[in-house]
Chain A
Amino acid sequence: MSTGNEVMHDGVMSTGEDARIFPDVEACIDCGGCVVSCKRTWDVPRDEQRISIATMLEGQEAASGLNASSGKAIGQGESPGETAVPMQCYHCSNAPCVSVCPTDSLISKENGFVRVRDDLCIGCQYCLSACPFGAPQFPDEDSGVANLVGSGGTMDKCTMCEERQDVGKGPACAEECATDAILVGTPAQISDELDNRDSGTFFNDVAMDIIFGDDASEFQ
């Protein structure tokens, strides 16, 4: 379902089917607003989070002339300097977690969302090993059978707020982001927005292929 642009926040360009979520690392200021909004929206417990901000090369300056252009610096093989990357489930087109899940508890839905079927998850943590972005979390690892035999408990991860998108709202993290560092839209919309901002994609080709599949060509 797409509800058009008229009610969308600047970073949320379209929602529903075919909508993707992707970070603009140049805009992220590591404020933690996305983390708080996700926790508040979904009552995520204190010690858990479905989105985190990974800060790389903290306190370091980028290569000359590239201090505010992490994506370009990466593309040129230069140091990007301190870079904050919102890390969450990107609901990949070629999701490695779905590929390795032995119980098919992880599925890629036709509308593009990667969902967990809680009743099938056995907490084997293969998805955690396979995901390049650290999205899968195991908050129940210390409870019940998981505590007894040392398995991971049921997996939990970002849902990209599918329920909110069903009613035309954007993901809570993206709606709340003060700097519009989390982009939601079709691959073409996200690519255009990054071009308009003169921001790079930051991720390498392998990661882009995983996230966007054939649509990765939109970013070249």
Chain B
Amino acid sequence: MSNLDHGKFTRVTTLFHSLLGLDVFLLFFTGYAIMFNDELWWMLTLMGGASGVTAIHRITGIGLVALVVFWITLQLISSTGRSNFSKILPAKDDIDAFIQDVQFVLGRADERHPSARQFAGYKADEVPLLSYIGKGVVAIFSIELTLLAISGLLIWSKTGLAAMFQTKAAAMAFVTFHGLLGVIMLMGVMFHIFEHGMHPAFYPVETKAFIPRSMVPEHHGDDDEEPDTTGIERLSLSPSWRTVSTVFGAMTVIGIVSVLVGSIFDEGYPVPRELAIGGGPSSILLTVGINLGMIVLGVGLVLSMYGNVLRIRWEQQLEQEREPTTAADGGEPQTDGGRPDAGDSEN
């Protein structure tokens, strides 16, 4: 079992996930305020106007490069990192699982592959939690972030890029690539937020990315003792989940479709006029849809912060529940037949 299995991250990974999320959210907010300035005029104003948005986007871009370099270095120099890296590489089982799931969708298989049922109440010993889906998410995000960072750095100075390639077409090609990749990644991030924020068992936020593996009770103590359950079967569905997930799901779908349509319909970067099917800021539906997409991102930002709040609460709870060990006389701590609660330890 790798550290990635059992759906829990290390402390460094949880911190990195939050910082990466914050950085990427800022890149999206600024990038889309530039790209859809008609529809997101309020966002442009809030972030200091045209020059302010550009400055934030570029500074945050440098932050992304720093985070990526840090992460790659960490994966290389730590044994845990090297182990995790080998675990997330696609294997034959992942390909088989993917094919079976596609066949299931097409009606040519009786059931989904076990890897695709990880959130359906199965226990850890029954279903591998690091499935092709999880590996795919990691791979897609890693590749997209890398390509966005490289193309973003290349187009930092268009004149420099044009001089490097001796052609303006090359500069514009990288500009268009950066923009279109941003559109694709935004759609993925919106789905990612919905997927982990509206999970039936963990709503309103799935905490595996925020609470480090080392703090999870069933994995405390003996590392050789593998847990046989995720505990998912003990969770109950929140009454408000159905309504909220329906509304949020609709916002996510509308946002994804609007951003996609907007990038084609709205003449200009990244789609040149010759290829655009429409143009101009006149579409109220598009304006509403793209703003809904930005609200989905905003909810993601709030959920990310809430996840960190939950982590801090969790830490405090563990601290309070910790057994007293200050038996200065060498005797056993008095637990009165069980683990003392916070009140007991204070009294």
Interface residues of A (CB under 8 A from B): 94, 96, 98-105, 119-126, 128-130, 132, 144-146, 148-152
Q: Counting CB contacts under 8 A, is B287 at the interface? A: no
Residues of A within 8 A of B34 (CB): 102-103, 122, 124
CB contact between A123 and one of B51, B273, B281 (< 8 Å): that residue: B51
Query: B321 to chain A: which residues have CB within 8 Å?
Result: none
Check if B59 sits within 8 Å of A149, measured CB to CB: yes
Closest B residue to A100 by beta carbon equals B269
Task: Report the bound CA distance from A37 to B242 in whole Å.
Answer: 70
Nearest chain-B residue to A101 (Cβ)? B268
The answer to whether B158 touches A100, judged by C-beta atoms less than 8 angstroms apart, is no
Cβ-defined contact, B172 with A129, below 8 A: yes
Question: CA separation between A149 and B35, bound complex, in Å?
Answer: 19
Q: Given A128-B158, A129-B162, A149-B59, are A123 and B269 neighbors across the interface (CB < 8 Å)?
A: no
A105 CA / B175 CA spacing, docked (Å): 17
Contact B158 A123 (CB under 8 A): no
* Residues on the B chain within 8 Å of A102, using CB: 34-35, 37, 179, 268-269
Which of A94, A104, A120 has the most chain B CB within a 10 Å cutoff?
A104
Report the Cα distance A128→B168, complex, angstroms.
Answer: 9
Please, how many angstroms separate the alpha-carbon atoms of A122 and B57 in the complex? 11
Additional 11 contacts, C-beta under 8 A, given A96-B272, A129-B175 = A99-B274, A102-B268, A102-B269, A103-B50, A104-B281, A122-B51, A123-B54, A129-B162, A130-B168, A145-B52, A150-B156
Query: B residues within 8 A CB of A148?
Result: 55
Contacts of B52 in A (CB 8 A): 145
Q: Interface range on chain B: under 10, 10 to 19, 20 to 34, or 35 or more? A: 20 to 34
CB of B53 within 8 Å of the partner chain: yes
6 A-B interface contacts by CB (under 8 A): A100-B269, A119-B49, A122-B54, A129-B161, A145-B52, A146-B51
User: Across the interface, do A103 and B37 meet the contact criterion of CB distance under 8 Å?
Assistant: yes
Q: Is the CB of B54 within 8 A of A126?
A: no
Residue from A96, A102, A129 with most neighbouring chain B CB atoms (10 Å): A129
Q: Which positions in B face A, CB cutoff 8 Å? A: 34-35, 37-38, 49-55, 58-59, 156-159, 161-162, 168, 171-172, 175, 179, 267-269, 272-274, 281
Point out the residues of chain A lying under 8 angstroms from B175, CB to CB: 100, 126, 129
Known: A100-B268, A103-B37, A148-B55. A119 touches B158 (CB 8 A): no
Please determine whether A120 and B37 come into contact, CB atoms closer than 8 angstroms: yes
CB proximity of A152 to chain B, nearest CB, Å: 8
Q: Is the interface of B mostly helix, strand, loop or mixed?
A: helix
Question: Does A128 lie within 8 Å of B156, measured CB to CB?
Answer: no
Expressed in whole angstroms, the Cα–Cα distance for A100 and B276 within the complex equals: 11
Given known contacts A102-B35, A122-B54, A123-B54, is B157 in contact with A129 (CB within 8 Å)? no
Q: Is the CB of B37 within 8 A of A145?
A: no
Q: Tell me the minimal C-beta distance from A121 to chain B in angstroms.
A: 7
Nearest residue (CB) in B for A118 is B50
- Chain A min CB distance to B63 (Å): 13
* Chain B residues in 8 Å Cβ range of A130: 168, 172
A144 adjacent to B51 (CB under 8 Å): yes
Most buried by B among A98, A103, A150: A103
7 residue pairs, one from A and one from B, having the closest CB atoms = A99-B273, A102-B269, A125-B158, A122-B50, A145-B51, A129-B171, A149-B58
Out of A98, A119, A129, A150, name the residue touching B50 (CB < 8 Å): A119
CB of A149 within 8 A of CB of B55, answer: yes
How far, in whole Å, are A120 and B274 apart by their CA atoms in the complex? Answer: 23
**Are A125 and B269 in contact (CB-based, < 8 A)?**
no
CB neighbours (8 Å) of A132 from chain B are: 168
- Complex-state Cα separation, A145 to B48, whole angstroms: 11
Contact status B172-A125, CB under 8 Å: no
A30 to B272, CA, bound (A): 35
